[in-house]
Structure 1
Amino acid sequence: MNLEPDEVADTVLVLTEPSDKSADLVVRELERRNAQVFRADTGDFPLSLNVSVWFDGSWHGEIRSPDGAVGLRDIRSVYVRRPTAFTFPPSMNDAEQRFAAREARRAVGGLLMSLPGCTWVNHPSKAADAEYKPLQLVTAAACGLAVPRTVITNVPGDAADLSGRLGGSVVYKTLSGASVSDGERVSLVYTTPVTVADMADDRVALTAHQFQERIPKVRDVRATVVGRRVFAANILVDDDAGELLDWRADYQALRYEPVDLPEGVKSALLTMTEQLGLTFAAADFVVTADDTHYFVDLNPSGQWGWIVDATALPIAEAIAALLTGEDQ
């Protein structure tokens, strides 16, 4: 399907895995607003998701799935949640699959990147850049957010000096995701207290390690940014569960409540996401007894459905409004 000159692109392309509950909430909200939605997972390409396009100064053609098709020129916005990797026939050997994956990424990704005037939540290249923790920390500090003192090293011999820069209490945090896959087994690496001896372990030399001062927190805050709106919630630990250094370690012990960020923190966070080129982000803070909010992490495609379940914050409505242009 091609648009006539006086027509306007009106379809929201949702790219995610089939079981994504957060995306389900957004799709339902889009449908409630009578928006056109085309949902697909890149993991279905090329077995059941197809692309057929041509170029004559701009790209024309369709993305097709068993559930329907969408014209490239009909796409007004793209919601990138958690699409999976391309899937190829098992008859292809490893070298063939690697080559096919490179070709698919350049073709499918390149076509989507070329969409004129498209709203992205988030643009893949901006989201990829924002995943880098060192960039997050320096951007947060430049925007006025408090940031824990941090060390990144693979030199065990520097442990004593570096630990002194972080104060009396130090934690280890991964620079990438918390999950580590080993075949079908998945382990989680949570924020962990460490000693000088831990930092001096010879295994530190094997890769980069991130160490931070341990902030004496009284609560955690998850702040979800959608466009220029911020939806924040306290993450509180039940009294009988004791202190959790990393709240992800025990979801059953948590309770949540909506909260307003201090205006200075909110403004700085919005400046940060703007500088990173993000229209969506899930940011985590630890808060001290004097109400200082320390920025600790930002996820450009973070989960938020469970926060909505607990607090009824209108995050899905805000994302849908952003994708349909109703927030402008």
Structure 2
Amino acid sequence: MTGDRPRTVLVLTNPYDATADVVLRILAERGVPVVRTDPGADLQQGAALTTRYEKDGQRGTLTTATRVLDLGRVGSVWYRRPSTYEAPAGMEGQDAAFCRAQAHWGVGGILAALPGAHYVNHPWRVREAEHKPVQLHAALTSGFTVPATVITTDPDQARAFCRAQVGGAVYKPLWNSPYRGEDGRAAQAWVSEVRPQEITEAVAACPHLFQAKVDKAYDVRLTAVGTRLFAVRIDSPDLDWRRRQNLLTYTQVAVPDDVAAAVARYLGAFGLVFGAFDFAVDTAECWNFFECNPNGQWAWFPPPMTDLIAEALADRLQRGTNP
């Protein structure tokens, strides 16, 4: 809060983001002013953005279909899942590419540098923290236990690594890239066990990630909102629990002190406020780090668990700092 007027929470996301809806309902109940916009699409559908840089500082406005937002009154920015920047309808070729680039560098730059705003998370920090190799490096230096991993374009190196893993090895994509099968349907590359003899020369086409298979007892999704940690045990019959989510069971669990300390170091290394961490807890109760999504989902948990995370995010956005 500043003076008598509460500062506005600016939410940057697409109109189909149900996760954002959960937090926005809480902020509305608290009477916190909120502006939700999808800049990539809205600026081609009547919204307008203006920023001035003059001797007395920076001033600007965001005009949507329902209001005019003074960008100097933004207390927090929740960078959720906005659409990619679009060109005007009907524009194609070089003109469309030019408009998309100008929007990315212009609008994206303005919204990433609002004076005094608190970001959850800052878009540039999100982009940096999404790279899996950088995550693995940060996890090791933060003190997490990380399964032996190789990222390679060399088929011989891949085979040698998998052969050396006594408990077996798995393949994981480095990014969840859109892909369609021969029938035109969307296809998903799940985490899968792999044997050395199954690795072909196709590995040379692009980087592949292979990792020692964890003898897991269960999975954990740990959602961090500043220093507030929410860990959920996930029991699944599958190696990759995302595969059949209708078979999952969820249980809240405590976070070991060493894991909590590593989470704090990891978030600090990237300048993150929020992170969705995935672990496999092995039969010795060791939490093995897999990844941290700096913009991960969490609203698919049962309501009591979802509500706790939503309240923590609402607190953070409302106060603009760690509660």
Query: Alignment partner for residue 261 of structure 1, among 243, 251, 255?
Result: 255
Q: Residue deviations 1:58-96, cap 9 Å, x none?
A: 322211111222111111110011100122233211221
Q: 1:99 is aligned with what amino acid? A: F
Partner in structure 2 of residue 159 of structure 1: 158
Please give the alpha-carbon distance, in whole angstroms, between the structure 2 residues aligned to 1:31 and 1:146: 41
Unmatched tracts of structure 2, length 5 or more: none
Deviation at 1:168, TM superposition (A): 4.1
Looking at structure 1, the residues matched to 222 and 80 of structure 2 have their Cα atoms a distance apart, in angstroms, of 17
Aligned to 2:106: 107
1:205 equivalent in alignment to 2:204: yes
Query: Are 2:150 and 2:158, in contact at CA under 8 Å, matched by a contact in 1?
Result: no
Q: Secondary structure at the match of 2:311?
A: helix
Residues 111-150 of structure 1 aligned to structure 2 (within 5 Å): 111-150=110-149
1:196 aligns with 2:193: no
Measured in 2, the distance between the counterparts of 1:251 and 1:236 equals: 10
Question: Secondary structure at the residue paired with 2:187?
Answer: strand
Q: Distance in 2 between matches of 1:178 and 1:315?
A: 28
CA separation in 2, counterparts of 1:197 and 1:90?
Answer: 50
CA RMSD of aligned residues (A): 2.0
- Contact 1:256 1:311 (8 Å CA) reproduced: no
Picking from 18, 26, 43, the partner of 1:45 is 43
Kept in 1, the 8 Å contact 2:160–2:196? The answer is no
CA distance in 2: counterparts of 1:160 and 1:35, whole angstroms? 56
Q: Distance in 2 between matches of 1:185 and 1:64?
A: 39
Secondary structure in structure 2 of the residue aligned to 1:100: helix
Find 2:27's aligned residue among 24, 27, 30.
Answer: 30
**Partners of 1:165 and 1:321 in 2: how far apart?**
48
| Structure 1 length-normalised TM | 0.91
Compared with structure 1, are the counterparts of its residues 147 and 310 closer, same or farther at alpha carbon in structure 2 (3 Å cutoff)?
same
SS at match of 1:67: coil
Q: CA deviation at 1:7?
A: 7.2
Q: CA deviation at 1:327?
A: 4.2
Residue 82 of structure 1 corresponds to 81
Normalising by structure 2, we get a TM-score of 0.92
Structure 1 residues 18, 75: CA separation in 2 closer, same or farther (over 3 Å shift)?
Answer: same
Deviation at 1:186, TM superposition (A): 2.3
Q: Note if 1:15 corresponds to 2:9.
A: no
CA distance in 1, matches of 2:25, 2:18: 11
Structure 1 spans left out of the alignment, 5+ residues:
238-242
CA contact (8 A) 1:44 1:86 kept: no
Q: Structure 2: which amino acid aligns with 1:17?
A: N
Counterparts of 1:7 and 1:55 in 2: how far apart (Å)? 27
Partner of 1:170: 169
The farther-off stretch of 54-63 and 215-224 is 54-63
Residue identity in the other structure for 1:176: W
- Counterpart CA distance in 1 for 2:36 and 2:304 is 26
Q: CA deviation at 1:310?
A: 6.2
Deviations 1:139-174 (A, max 9, x none): 111111100100111111333322234334010001
| 1:180 counterpart residue number | 179
| Aligned residue pairs, count | 318
Specify the SS of the correspondent of 2:242: helix
Q: Identity over the aligned pairs, expressed in percent?
A: 34
SS of the residue aligned with 1:304?
coil
How far the C-alpha of 1:52 sits from its partner, in A, is 2.3
1:308–1:314 Cα contact (<8 Å) kept: no
